[in-house]
Amino acid sequence: MMLEATRPGMTEQSGLLRPKGAASRADLPRKKDRLVAKAVDGTDWAALLLQVRDHQDRAAFAALFRHFAPRVKAFLMKSGAPASVAEECAQDVMATLWQKAHLFDPARASVSTWVYTIARNKRIDALRKDRRAEPEDIDWGPEPEPDQAEAMEAQQDTDRLGRALASLPQKQRALIERAYFGDLSHSEIAAETGLPLGTIKSRIRLALDKLRHHMT
């Protein structure tokens, strides 16, 4: 199935792409409100990425590119990359998204989270030239059709986190941003984020328990 529209959220074919009438951004003067609007944009990025994964859908890729590439570029520049390096690196990240789409599992992570992990690893490659050890992959077994409810939950986790981030006191949010953008050394990173992380942990924990149970 190919997406005909290049804009995300414009097709109803899969029933997954639900455009939500997001509040017009023009009348949101305050940064915090803008952040909230961004966090609840409502486009189903996972559905688009699954189109890339299962059908090499270039239109879906283009929609993902428009949304994520400028964010990845900004993230890399905030991490200290010069514009040209950040641009090249953002291109790398998006090409990796295309190439490794089969590794994306909508039940485990939202697309934003997945793109973030790719971008972070590219940043380590490009700016620090370190190797980065990754945890052993888990054999999730023959991939069943992703559980729609689980996929929704992963996206909702990220949305909820986005809203929580936006409503943090400015000072606290800045600290978290600095930690992730590379302004803080690891010993300066504070563990207390004030963010609701417990739900994500218990959701993933539950999935892992289920998996281990099946394996034994």
Subset of 12-31 contacting other proteins (CB under 8 A): none
Q: Is 116 in the site for other proteins (CB under 8 A)?
A: yes
SS3 75: helix
Orientation of helix 148-167 relative to helix 111-123, angle to 10°: 70
At residue 26's C-alpha, the angle toward residues 62 and 195, to 5°, is 75
C-beta separation of 124 from 132 below 8 A: yes
At residue 75's C-alpha, the angle toward residues 177 and 63, to 5°, is 125
Subset of residues 32 to 71 that bind other proteins, contact rule: CB under 8 A = 35, 38-39, 53, 56, 58, 61-62, 65-66, 68-71
Subset of residues 144 to 173 that bind other proteins, contact rule: CB under 8 A = 157-158, 161-162, 164-166
Q: Which of 60, 108, 151, 175 binds other proteins (CB under 8 A)?
A: 108
SS3 147: coil
User: For other proteins, which stretch binds (CB under 8 A), given 7-15, 17-25, 107-115, 144-152?
Assistant: 107-115
CA distances for 109 relative to 53, 92, 128, angstroms: 15, 20, 26
Q: Which of 121, 126, 150, 194 binds other proteins (CB under 8 A)?
A: 121
User: For other proteins, which stretch binds (CB under 8 A), given 7-15, 21-29, 86-94, 145-153?
Assistant: 86-94
Name which of 15 and 189 has its Cβ closer to other proteins: 189
